[in-house]
A = this chain, B = another copy of it.
């Protein structure tokens, strides 16, 4: 097997990078921080998009498209937003190149300087609220429930494929409402959609919660999030849904007349998930042999490998396989038949393990005689020989079973990796020796969170929605606290 991976134990970070490259998911491009998403990786992203898009539409949203560029001055309009977003970004200053008068190649034409610089969108609240100003006049124009699928750019200094790239793909929902209550309800609705997607498609258990003030989106009054745990015990924020209050409506002067004709500012939300989900998917489930993909997001769910020595054997295997493929496809199961004669079965087995194909079927001459077929599961790496008759039913059930097993494994891992602590010593000890989520009391101040971060690198991942009221003392300051929050070191 030429494509051996670094093991997770040896170097988790290297294992991740190896896996992304060797499983043909993505690679770095010639442009610093920008990735190329390769066909196999993009096929997984397309499946995610497809399901999310369906869920957005089922909850009443429509898609639209807003400009890539944002005038620089727009960022200054919302005070906290500019601090968070207008700094590390790609700035367009010119609109023309010309032939280099001193030789070969092209140079920027100094005569083609823009009057106002354009920023490649890092997120689109400003340009969208500037647009909504013209769409909204009365309560009849509300709510507006738009989503866009787009690329955005944030000039990151340290980049990692999928997890942190200068350009990434995402969706951003931007909604406008007549009342605070309705906007808050929308914020909650969408974090629930994200959690539903994460758990039922990514097979990734997530904790829903509020962000602390330090971790909140720049310009939001409240940020809800879903937080997941990776196999190295670090947390990954997998989606956010922001209640923006009237901040952007005020910044862009977006008012509406209510039923009584009274003018008020519009209430806003925004919510997004990105290609970062690819990173979460990879890191949550995969192993030292390669990717482990939940069947619902696998580009193909089943691969069939013929085992043969002579071409005659291949012909009779292929003829049997034809019927199996037909039966599987009739059940909506995607199948690849790899009858490439240039590769040996062993090579193929390793390759499809690396690529995370959930189920592998292998069929040889003896199977044909016996009416059997070998079924291998990627998640448990177990194999069994089953009757070829009704193997489509067997596989359909198995795929459901695998989806559940992957989820349960991640859930058990998270449970085992979540620790309640009551003292600062305990907190530091667990963080260093065990990692994972740490449930602890906190005094609710940004200062304390900041100090904890400086001393340990841990941040508050969220204040869980289902946190129970419980009297306690802040592990750091000793001040009183009313509930536990979740700390972790995060991606």
- In the complex, the answer to whether B89 meets A169 with C-beta atoms within 8 Å is no
* A36 contacts B by Cβ under 8 Å: yes
Chain B residue at minimum C-beta to C-beta distance from A45? B65
Q: What is the bound-complex CA distance between A72 and B99, given in angstroms?
A: 12
Q: Are A71 and B155 in contact (CB under 8 A)?
A: no
* Residue among B43, B95, B120, B127 making CB contact with A29, cutoff 8 Å: B127
Q: Does A90 contact B (CB under 8 A)?
A: yes
Give the CA-CA distance A36 to B124 in the complex, in Å: 12
Residues of B within 8 A of A108 (CB): 72, 91, 93, 117
Cα–Cα, bound, A448→B74 (Å): 50
- Bound form: Cα–Cα A484–B140 in Å: 57
CA A90 to CA B118, docked complex, whole Å: 9
A327 within 8 A of B: no
How many copies of this chain are found per oligomer?
Answer: 2
CB within 8 Å of B: which of A91-132?
A: 91-98, 104-106, 108, 117-120, 127, 130-131
Cβ-closest chain B residue relative to A61: B39
| Any B CB within 8 A of the CB of A489 | no
Q: Given A68-B120, A90-B118, A140-B342, is A75 in contact with B38 using a C-beta cutoff of 8 Å?
A: no
Q: Check: A82 CB closer than 8 A to any chain B CB.
A: yes
Residue of B nearest to A83 (CB): B99
Partner of A31, one of B70, B93, B150: B70
Docked Cα-Cα span, A328 to B137, in Å, equals: 35
| A29-B66, A39-B146, A118-B31 known; A91+B90 contact, CB < 8 A | no
Indicate if the CB atoms of A73 and B36 lie closer than 8 Å: no
Interface membership of A261, Cβ < 8 A: no
Indicate if A153 sits at the interface (CB-CB under 8 A).
yes
**With the chains together, A153 CA to B342 CA distance in Å?**
43
Are B69 and A90 touching (Cβ within 8 A)?
Answer: yes
Asked whether any CB of chain B lies closer than 8 Å to the CB of A188, the reply is: no
A191 to B258, CA, bound (A): 53
By the criterion CB–CB under 8 Å, are B120 and A31 in contact? Answer: no
Any chain B CB within 8 A of the CB of A35?
A: yes
Contacts beyond the supplied A27-B131, A90-B94, A92-B92: 16 A-B pairs with Cβ under 8 Å = A29-B131, A30-B131, A31-B67, A31-B69, A31-B71, A34-B68, A34-B69, A36-B65, A36-B67, A42-B62, A73-B105, A88-B95, A89-B96, A92-B93, A97-B119, A151-B151
10 nearest A-B pairs in the assembled complex, by CB-CB distance: A34-B67, A39-B62, A37-B65, A76-B105, A91-B94, A95-B155, A93-B93, A90-B92, A31-B67, A29-B67
